[in-house]
Amino acid sequence: MRGEAHPEVEYVVEADRAERAYPTFDEALIYAFSVAMSAGQTRIDVLVYGEEGAEAFGGREAVEDYHQNPEASVFRRFEIEVRDLGQVP
């Protein structure tokens, strides 16, 4: 699913106190990595708006998670951190 868009799923990346929403995980990840390269870290929030979206995102297990708390504002949160370690001999 992460490479495909679904109308009940969106991926939100925060940068400079502004949020951008993307239809696919891959698009959000590309932007999040770029933000983390300059800011050191960011996050991707997965927003799911229904059972079909939960299943598209993570299969039957995700549907069970959705049923446990369908009102959750964020279904999943991924933190992205980039540390420049310099040269490696």
Q: What percent of the chain has pLDDT over 90?
A: 87
Report, as an integer, the average pLDDT of 38-56.
95
User: What is the distance, to the nearest Å, from the Cα of residue 30 to the centroid of all Cα atoms in its chain?
Assistant: 11
pLDDT in the model for residue 1: 55
Residues in the chain: 89
Q: Is 53 left (phi over 0), alpha (psi -120 to 50) or beta?
A: alpha
Q: What are 8-45's pLDDT values in tens digits?
A: 999 999 998 899 999 999 999 999 999 999 999 999 99
pLDDT at 81 over 80: yes
Judge if pTM exceeds 0.75.
yes
Closest of 74, 80, 82 to residue 21, by C-alpha: 74
Q: Which element (helix H / strand E) includes 61?
A: helix 51-68
Q: How far apart are CA 82 and CA 69, in angstroms?
A: 31
